[in-house]
Chain A
Amino acid sequence: MTGFFSQIWTVIKMNVLSLPQRLWMSLAAVFAVSVVVAVLLAFLAMATGFEETLAGTGADDVAIITRTGSQSEVNSVLSRNTVNLVSTSPGIATNGDGSAVYSAEVYVIVDGIKRSTQNEANIPLRGLSPDGVDLRSSVSMTEGRMFEAGRNEIIVGAGVQRAFEGFEVGQQIRFGKTVWDIVGVFSTGGSAFESELWADAPTVQGQFQRGSSFQTVRVRLSQPGNVEPIREYIANDPQLILDVDTEAGFFASQGKALSGIAIFGWTLSVVMGLGALAGALNTMYTSVASRVREIATLRAIGFNNSSAFFGTLAESLVLSIIGGVLGALFAWLFFDGFSASTLGAGFTQVVFTFELTPALFVNGIVMAVIIGMVGGLFPAWRAARVPVVSAFQGGE
């Protein structure tokens, strides 16, 4: 039995060590697999990065209240009266003085010049109430200072600054007729809030002729994840036509927006993978053909035919795994951390970074192994059936 395995091992070693003799054909197979894996991982990293960004945006202990059916913040409209009513609902946490922790927010879309396209694109300008900043976890000012209530002052999310031109601290920016001072840059640890501009809610209402209307209300839940008391309260008051959801739930559903990209990436790379498979088969058949005499000679001196089979299969797998690792490395070097932005569910740009997680890396290697496996199987079958007599025939 040990003889059986040592024979296979010997042939595998022979095949792999002789790869440089078939250098160009082998490189072609490696290259084809690496491109397929790189393409797959690039698309998956894009979809994952977007999803993670939005998943990291919502908190479980914050609820978001919008007008029924509005689906996104920008479509919702709430009157001052509605805000006052809903903020007295049970289930909302209170400050030290007994008042509810909530932030009525104005959400306006403004233009900025996107660096990547040099064209105008939508950025959300969010007007926050005093509790608004505290309702977001881990907000930190990376530059400058917080805006002051009652003044035309804006702080800029780190993502906006990365993706758009003209949002440096100290600069002024015009929205229509109004002029705003950029006084600071904030970070929220990579969440979608970094794709926003923040200012004081009453100031935004005033400057954008919004009267006393808001888009959404955020409240701190007294019990994380439990919006039922608020839902019940809304249901019992015919004046309130509102939807309530935890912020986490609200943003998680928006994160699925790019799941189509992942499907596209899979479809594309499977199709390209078929092309690479043709390349791998070509390489391996050629390899077997060039080793016919060697294989037959081994059989003649007593090697079993499984050794030829596994030797060929191993060669194919080695090539495809090298290709897979190279492709993944390429994707990691060029795409991991790559910053991009696209139109999100709020009809504004969401700035996100590509994320090549270990799980995705495994996907890439699995893809490579499948190509190597199928691409090696048929040629290996042929190798196993090389007749011993070929060892004594001349020529090819």
Chain B
Amino acid sequence: MKDLYLVFKNLTRKPLRLFLTVFATFIAFMIFGTLGAFQQALNSGVELSADDRLVTINKINFTQPLPIAYVNRIRALDDIESATHLNWFGGYYQEARNQMGMFAVDPETFLVVYDELLMTDEEKTLWLGNRQGLIAGESIAANFGWKVGDRVPVNSNIFSQRDGSTVWDFDVVAIYTGEDEQTDTNSVYFHYEYFNETQSFGGDNIGFVGIKTDDPSKNESVIKAVDDMFVNSSAETETVPEKAFNKAFLDQIGNLGLILTSVILAAFFVILVIVGNSMILSIRERTGEIGVMKTLGFTSSRIFRMVLSESLLLALLGGTLGIVASGALAEAVNQAPIQLPTLVIGQSIWVQALLFMIGLGLITGIVPATNALRLNIITALSRD
């Protein structure tokens, strides 16, 4: 206990230096917390994919259509709980930059296959009964200020109605929430029938099929059965687990993980050098004192522990402040009208951050602590 007091006194003897090193550590951990949360949010689409869900796309590319007849043929296969189809609509609200993930779907099967989207049974019935009804995720609804009962016009940058207009009118019948905090609630879904009857070209085609298998262990046999069925047809298919599909989609943007990891590492490397140097310096300045302490009977290992505790305390102080700040930053980003999965400074970030703090404390403390450990009383006291 007494040692801890000494450690604390040592740490605070030069307030300016303490402030500067804590500040540098704070910055690095704030960057880590924020970018780490960002990386997790990007990956959440992959992490949260259901294991029992498959995606069937046109083998050429997922932007190529499939005939709608495929859906019933897939449903007839074994080991499939349900299959549903989705069409990318290219929807945007009011302005072209308000693009959203908007799909024309078959509501009944859609709600079975994508059961992580939560709404009340009453809302489900309402949607099934209203052909112009759409359901919007809570995040996108908040962005556009949509409420249940609103009638909203939505433009498509791909399709047009038979009269040449690119605007469709919809009733917002429900605002769904996600099963998980990071479930995507930036998407909008509406009736395929409404779409198919009013649009002017490419009828009776769909974008892709979502399949829910009876059990993840059946995935492989279902994949083979589906793709074999359409081999040599005019539209061959490629069926993949949803996780793989989402991963490939994310990869299209680039190797974001690598970029974020490099930046975080660079930030850590910088503070490692700054804090490490500062620790070595402050212990060197105390050489005489350490000599006195050793003369008074402090064992070398006790001094070693004290120096190490000092650097650990420093890292924990700056690091904790940094992560707390990144939590506030994430909250601010979540409130902003940006189509981004929710940023969460959760347990996993805290655990990683704590490990980094301990690592940083040990690495920056080990050299000065060893120097102090080895310090000979005679040399220490004879020094100027």
Residues of A within 8 A of B (CB): 24-25, 27-28, 31-32, 35-36, 38-39, 67-72, 74-75, 77, 108-111, 114, 116-117, 119-122, 175-177, 208-209, 241, 268, 271-272, 274-276, 278-279, 281-282, 285-286, 340-343, 347, 349, 395-396
- Kindly identify which residue among A279, A340, A341 contacts B24, using a CB–CB cutoff of 8 Å: A279
- Verify A74–B30 contact, CB threshold 8 A: no
Sample of 26 A–B contacts (CB below 8 Å): A28-B274, A38-B266, A39-B263, A70-B157, A75-B158, A108-B60, A108-B61, A111-B60, A114-B251, A116-B254, A117-B248, A119-B248, A121-B248, A122-B252, A176-B235, A177-B232, A177-B233, A272-B27, A275-B24, A276-B274, A278-B21, A278-B23, A281-B20, A282-B20, A282-B274, A282-B278
Verify if B164 is at the interface (C-beta below 8 Å from A): yes
Partner of B236, one of A114, A177, A276: A177
Query: How many Cβ-Cβ contacts under 8 Å join chain A to chain B?
Result: 139
Asked if residues B16 and A121 are in contact (CB atoms below 8 Å), the reply is no
CA distance A340 to B252 in the complex (A): 11
User: Are B157 and A271 touching (Cβ within 8 A)?
Assistant: no
Question: Which of chain B's residues have a CB closer than 8 A to the CB of A347?
Answer: 63
By the criterion CB–CB under 8 Å, are A343 and B253 in contact? yes
B201 contacts chain A at the CB level, 8 A cutoff: yes
Chain B hits for A28, CB < 8 A: 273-274, 276-277
Within 8 Å CB of A114, what residues of B? Answer: 251-252
Q: Is the CB of A282 within 8 A of B27?
A: no
Question: Is B61 a contact of A278 with CB atoms below 8 Å?
Answer: no
Query: For A24, A27, A114, A120, which residue has the most chain B Cβ atoms within 10 angstroms?
Result: A120
Q: Are B63 and A109 in contact (CB under 8 A)?
A: yes
Mark each residue of chain B from 231 to 275: 1 if its CB lies under 8 Å from any CB of chain A, else 0. 011111000000000011001111100000001001101110110
Interface residues of B (CB under 8 A from A): 16-17, 20-21, 23-24, 27-28, 30-31, 58-61, 63-64, 90, 96, 155, 157-158, 160, 164, 166, 201, 232-236, 247-248, 251-255, 263, 266-267, 269-271, 273-274, 276-278, 280-281, 285, 384
Q: Tell whether, in the assembled complex, residue B63 and residue A275 are in contact, meaning their CB atoms are under 8 Å apart.
A: no
Contact A342/B63 with A275-B267, A275-B274, A282-B17 known, Cβ cut-off 8 Å = no
Shortest CB-to-CB span from A210 to chain B, Å, is 11
Closest beta carbon of chain A to B264's beta carbon, Å = 10
Query: How far does the Cβ of B245 sit from chain A's closest Cβ, in whole Å?
Result: 10
B270 engages A349 (CB within 8 Å): no
In the assembled complex, the CB of B291 is this many whole angstroms from the nearest CB of chain A, namely 15
- Asked whether A341 lies within 8 Å of B263 as measured between CB atoms, the reply is no
Nearest Cβ in chain A — how far from B271, in angstroms?
A: 6
Q: Are A35 and B269 in contact (CB under 8 A)?
A: yes
Q: Is there contact, CB below 8 Å, between A275 and B27?
A: yes
* Set B155, B233, B247, B270: member contacting A272, Cβ < 8 A: B270
B370 to chain A, nearest CB (A): 16
A77 to B278, CA, bound (A): 65
Known contacts A69-B166, A177-B232; is-contact A341 B254 (Cβ 8 Å): yes
Q: Are B61 and A36 in contact (CB under 8 A)?
A: no
Q: For B157, list chain A residues within 8 Å (CB).
A: 69-72, 75
Interface of A is mostly: mixed
Nearest opposing residue in chain A for B167, CB measure: A69
Neighbouring A residues of B285 by C-beta, 8 Å? 396
A234–B106 CA distance with the chains assembled, in angstroms: 38
B residues less than 8 Å from A343 (CB atoms): 252-254
Assess the A119–B61 pair: CB atoms within 8 A. Answer: no
A116-B267 contact, Cβ under 8 Å, with A32-B274, A70-B158, A176-B59: no
Determine how close the nearest CB of chain A comes to the CB of B95; give it in whole angstroms: 11
**Contact status A285-B61, CB under 8 Å:** no
Of B23, B234, B278, B280, which one neighbours A209 at CB under 8 angstroms?
A: B234
B63 nearest CB neighbor, chain A only: A109
Docked pose: A74 CA to B157 CA in angstroms? 10
CB-based contact B273/A32 at 8 Å: yes
B277 in contact with A175 (CB, 8 Å): no
Across-interface contacts of A395 in B (CB, < 8 A): 384
Contact B96 A71 (CB under 8 A): yes
Chain B contacts for A25, CB-based, 8 A: 277, 281
CB-based contact A272/B63 at 8 Å: no
> When chains A and B are docked, how far (Å) is the Cα of A276 from the Cα of B274?
8
> Out of B63, B166, B263, which one reaches A74, CB within 8 Å?
B63
Chain B residues, Cβ within 8 Å of A276: 270, 274
Q: Which of A71, A111, A241, A278 contacts B274 (CB 8 A)?
A: A278
Closest approach, in angstroms, between the C-beta of A285 and any C-beta of chain B?
7
A349 with B267: in contact, given A109-B63, A278-B21 (CB under 8 Å)?
no
A31 to B285, CA, bound (A): 23
* Of B64, B158, B251, B270, most A-chain CB atoms within 10 Å: B270
Given A114-B251, A177-B232, A272-B31, A75 contacting B273 (CB threshold 8 A): no
User: Residue on B with the closest CB to A272?
Assistant: B267
Residue of B nearest to A70 (CB): B157
